[in-house]
Chain A
């Protein structure tokens, strides 16, 4: 028979006493009203760059009770979700208009092949591409990959970077495959903004295929005379632009009641949405877009870190070597980041930084806004163009990389911790 010693109550009492003491010692973290509030933004950034053991990080956190109790905008997750939805819709509609304008200019160019028409078409591409580069940071819902909530993989149908296949484009030029009725089903690298850049800005008569490719061995490319080549490129560009326009319309429609109605699913998170059980889940999904900064921008588009003596491995990641807009692409990406993080109106409005402030992380919000501003300035003033800098100005590239990394480090450490956001995962799995 097992004998048990009577459990004394001294030990539990001591524990309870310690618990009460810790409650009293911790104090309240909300202000007197209990409503989380923060100072409303007037635009731009605030706070001073942080100092401390690790560059760019604040050495001390602001206590939640120290947030000034001024006339403010009351933050709510629902309001942030609505703001993100509006900003995404705005960006989507803007891009669709630019894609329409691009298509129209290309139709005009294909009709007469004049240098003026080509210049207008190239400018229209730059405008559309600039809008899309900002939208790269809004891969939410239909634009996101199919593994994400509401994802339909439509981003890749418009822009396939880092995937590129110039040879595929040249093969379709040689075979006139762009005129087939199933053109929309060809590989994504043969359509989209990336293919359009190649078609509009590469005016040489060479192709990007190896000498062993069929179009070279069978003479298919050589059979396309230099006088016919521009017309084929123009006709191909019209088809590709039409496809981009259709995809843009597809994304925008998917947000609306006439399509997948993703907007309703998104804004009703936690209140009837079948995709997002809570508002936090919706914001978690939206935050996945921030990590474009980590891979696509830092590791691929900029690629060459400070101190690197050899950036030749970065050349395959060059984004727009024909239009020579790789630097501007990064600048637009960062502006898209700012729209999502700081507010849709170029940093003004509701953004994730407001959420940080609402939970008492003012210093972190300031640090990230400062790092973002530094990165945008560094990109806007970057010389020479990235297309040349990898070989001629590694130090400049490294300095830009450092600016991006400061923001990225804050994103991957404190930001996701403070808001308890999950990293984008392909497989979630269990935890303990």
Chain B
């Protein structure tokens, strides 16, 4: 939150635009206005502080989760995997007993417990494990493993950074780091779970995430994962740093068997959703990095470099007037960049253009799009069928026939200088 305030991103990302992209089913979510958005950020920052110190913990965490979800729902353009993770962790914290020790709430209320059901720890471990595992699965594809893309593209432009930069000139750098990233994401959970390898695995976690932070502008993601990975250590490890806590023993609280079946059921549903959601792209077939159906909420972290050029063609009948409309007539630069490779955003804007031109007095407005995109350095391919009138296409979770198949050529290898 404070980073957004400090960098001045609130206006640029949330306020300075006349059009916002919506999640499917959430078109009714409206932004709070300029002042409201700034207030929301400060409120969320305050709630995060309350969570950290354990003050009115459950209410703070719940309010944070709701507020953060609302903030993200305002515009799809701002979706990032680690924002999604922050939301999920907020939700889990809101229902967890994490505030029952070492918190201001515990001090205020005189609570003292040393044990909580192990299921809570496993639930957090499951959540963090899901992130790593699916991030690894997302890398199990030809572009990443066999062609070292998009890392080849990214590292080739980072040869100027100190110490590491000169290494990226070598042809083995991108393949090595591609496989290292894949192996890390795919296996780190196992190494963290095994007590014998856990300390070393955690050291690798720190090195990996620090490295990604140095190389890429991924914000708080490395910090979140470095801290989140601590859940794989035994639950009582922090007590080892406080002498009086090592000897303290508190009475074990009575269990509440009445709520246990409900809790287990809810946890089971939550876990099932977290497992199924990232895999929904299988229902659409094709290359998810191209058609993007099932891309969000699937932990596909930094696995594609995609740039496109999109122009809308508006036609009205029966007077047969025809215009070319640029996306930047409605969008800020960030939105335009995100739109250029995401077909569902292209469809949303096409509908908005249809409605806008209808309001201007045109009748039977048709909207087609000239959209091309380059995926991981390939020559550009046509993304959307130019003959389809998107004004008549309804937003749907069903497979979109108006998205053309991905180019099948292999991505090129670039020399690093």
Contact = CB atoms under 8 A, between A and B. Distances in A.
B328 A424 contact: no
A281 B160 CA distance: 9
A416 B337 CA distance: 12
B417 A427 contact: no
A25 B146 contact: yes
A413 interface: yes
Contact of A412 (B154, B183, B217, B308): B308
Contacts, number: 206
Given A313-B323, A427-B13, A30 B415 contact: yes
B287 interface: no
A417 B322 CA distance: 32
Contact of A278 (B160, B172, B187, B193): B160
B160 A280 contact: yes
Given A412-B308, A417-B374, A430-B220, A19 B175 contact: yes
A358 B130 CA distance: 41
B67 interface: no
Interface string B208-229: 0000000011111100000000
A63 B216 CA distance: 27
Given A359-B417, A413-B373, A427-B334, A432 B9 contact: no
B322 A52 contact: no
Nearest to B411: A61
B177 to A, nearest CB: 11
Given A413-B374, A428-B217, A432-B80, A7 B160 contact: no
A409 B372 contact: yes
Interface stretch (A217-225, A231-239, A246-254, A302-310): A302-310
A206 interface: no
A36 B412 CA distance: 16
Contacts of A277: 160-161
B325 to A, nearest CB: 9
Contacts of A281: 160
Q: Is the interface of A mostly helix, strand, loop or mixed?
A: loop
Contact of B221 (A28, A405, A424, A432): A432
Interface string A395-416: 0000001000100111011101
Contacts of B219: 430-432
Contact of B415 (A18, A53, A64, A432): A64
Contacts of A358: 415, 417
A164 interface: no
A281 B217 CA distance: 14
A426 B12 contact: yes
B151 to A, nearest CB: 11
Given A409-B309, A418-B377, A431 B322 contact: no
A412 B415 contact: no
A304 B165 CA distance: 45
Contact of B175 (A22, A410, A431): A22
B45 interface: no
Interface string A49-91: 0001110011111011000000000011100000000000000
Given A12-B187, A76-B417, A427 B374 contact: no
Tell me which of A22, A426, A427 has the highest count of chain B C-beta atoms within 10 A of its own C-beta. Answer: A427
A187 interface: no
Contact of B156 (A279, A308, A420): A420
B333 interface: yes
A387 interface: no
Nearest to A56: B380
B334 A425 contact: yes
Contact of B372 (A54, A299, A361): A54
A11 B78 CA distance: 38
B302 interface: yes
A15 interface: yes
B393 to A, nearest CB: 21
A423 B337 contact: yes
Nearest to A310: B321
A165 interface: no
A416 B308 CA distance: 10
A428 B372 CA distance: 23
B29 interface: no
A27 B139 CA distance: 21
Interface in A246-304: 270, 277-281, 295, 299, 304
B380 A361 contact: no
Contact of B301 (A64, A295, A432): A432
Contact of B320 (A59, A64, A278, A309): A309
A23 B153 contact: no
Contacts of B12: 426-427, 429
B340 A308 contact: no
Nearest to B407: A53
A57 B82 CA distance: 36
Contacts of A23: 172, 175-176
Contacts of A228: none
A314 B146 CA distance: 48
A26 interface: yes
A376 to B, nearest CB: 21
B194 A420 contact: no
A76 B159 CA distance: 12
Given A413-B309, A430-B80, A26 B382 contact: no
Interface string B158-195: 11110001000001100110010011001100110111
Contacts of A361: 412, 414
A308 B220 CA distance: 47
B157 interface: yes
Contact of B171 (A28, A308, A359): A28
Given A408-B309, A418-B153, A432-B81, 7 more contacts: A7-B190, A19-B145, A308-B322, A308-B323, A310-B321, A359-B156, A430-B82
29 contacts: A15-B183, A19-B183, A26-B148, A29-B414, A64-B412, A75-B417, A76-B417, A77-B160, A77-B417, A277-B160, A277-B161, A299-B328, A305-B313, A307-B322, A313-B323, A359-B415, A413-B309, A413-B373, A413-B374, A414-B377, A416-B307, A417-B307, A418-B412, A425-B333, A430-B80, A430-B221, A431-B218, A432-B80, A432-B218
Kindly list the 10 A-B residue pairs having the minimum CB-CB distance in the complex, ordered from nearest. Answer: A427-B12, A430-B219, A278-B160, A305-B324, A420-B157, A413-B374, A61-B412, A19-B179, A412-B309, A413-B380
Interface of A: 4, 7, 12, 15, 18-19, 22-23, 25-26, 28-30, 36, 52-54, 57-61, 63-64, 75-77, 270, 277-281, 295, 299, 304-305, 307-310, 313, 355, 358-361, 401, 405, 408-410, 412-414, 416-421, 423-432
